Structure 1
Amino acid sequence: MTETTQLKSPSKYHQDFVVWCEDTVAKLKDRDIEGLDFEALIEEIESLGLRDKRELKSRLGVLLAHLLLAHLLKRLYVQSPNDYCGWQNAIADQRREIELLIEQSPSLKNYFVEVFEDSWRHALKRVKQDYPTVQLPDEWEFSRDLDAILTEDFWLTDEDGEKK
């Protein structure tokens, strides 16, 4: 097969991704560098980093919009003590998922900073829709530090009843 014909015919990568993966792994194990489809391999490796970024943004969106910030806002501003435990458990679950993701890819800490504001705005909008009569802050009032977001119980108060 000529190089021109080879470029025009679809590769295993485009025909059957699983077969391509199995074939690529076998070639890597055999150190068969000549047989590798470098273009497809480069594309897949690039997508791995993007996948982790998408997953962090997605989990951060869930954490902030659906759980942490939404539940945190509810925990801080909605007087519903019967719901506090459920809200706090949801916060803890998503915090752990993000911790695991950051452990696997520590560079995602920087990405967290990039997507925080957008995630906060989305969370605020959702909670305002769910609780239109509750006065919510327009700005995030607490630390934006990832470690703080993942550990601090923002709903606790000091001796004077003020939020910490």
Structure 2
Amino acid sequence: MNQLSDEASLYDRDYHLWVLETVKHLETSDFEALDLENLMAEILGWAAMEKRELRNLLRLSFEHLLMWQYGEAERSNNYGHWRGEVTNFRKQIKDELEDSPSLKPYLQQIFEQCYQDGREIASMRSQLPLETFPEKAIANLDQVLDENWFPRVSK
């Protein structure tokens, strides 16, 4: 028990050294010496980080898709940039889902909130009124993730 509290304090004092020591304990199957509480917190933190990354990428996808569709004044200067950004975000989401396919339902859970967030950000960036952008999502999740789909340009 004393070693466990030593390890726990190492986590607070020197994170890098704690990681190296944790790996050493795992490699040598010295499970008694593991700081399980912090190890579990770290592992859960990785899972939360994956979710944050997906939420951010989906939000950015909506922002750029909306700018693509409704940013008429800026379209000629930003067409390639917006298209490239959306393609990049889609590829990153695809990569995340290939590594962790169990997160696909999470995208559906956060879909509406990410659309609303993307809508607000697009309004701020474009300085267009929020009402310019539809309240209802301009696409479904499959379309947003489809590398060949882009919304029709507003006239």
After TM superposition, the runs of 4+ consecutive aligned structure 1 residues lying more than 6 A away are none
Give distance in 1, aligned partners of 2:95 and 2:2: 46
1:111 aligned to 2:106?
Answer: yes
Identity of aligned residues (%): 29
Q: 1:135 aligns with which of 98, 109, 132?
A: 132
Letter in 2 for 1:122: D
> Judging changes above 3 Å, is the alpha-carbon distance between structure 1 residues 18 and 5 closer, same or farther for their aligned structure 2 residues?
closer
Letter in 1 for 2:107: F
Deviation of the 1:6 alpha carbon? 6.8
Relative contact order (C-alpha < 8 Å, sep 6+): which is higher? 2
Q: What does 1:19-30 align with in structure 2 at a 5 Å threshold? A: 19-30=17-28
Supply the RMSD in Å over aligned alpha carbons: 2.7
Q: Does the aligned pair in 1 maintain the 2:58–2:114 contact within 8 Å? A: yes
Q: 1:126 aligns with which of 98, 121, 126?
A: 121
> Judging changes above 3 Å, is the alpha-carbon distance between structure 1 residues 11 and 154 closer, same or farther for their aligned structure 2 residues?
same
**1:70 paired residue number:** 63
Q: Does the aligned pair in 2 maintain the 1:57–1:112 contact within 8 Å? A: yes
Q: Which one has the largest radius of gyration?
A: 1
Q: What does 1:10-159 align with in structure 2 at a 5 Å threshold? A: 11-61=9-59, 63=60, 68-79=61-72, 80-129=75-124, 130-132=126-128, 135-143=132-140, 145=141, 147-151=142-146, 152-156=148-152
Letter in 1 for 2:16: V
Letter in 1 for 2:63: A
Letter in 2 for 1:77: Y
- The number of residues matched between the two structures is 149
When the two structures are superposed, what TM-score results if normalisation uses the length of structure 1?
Answer: 0.76
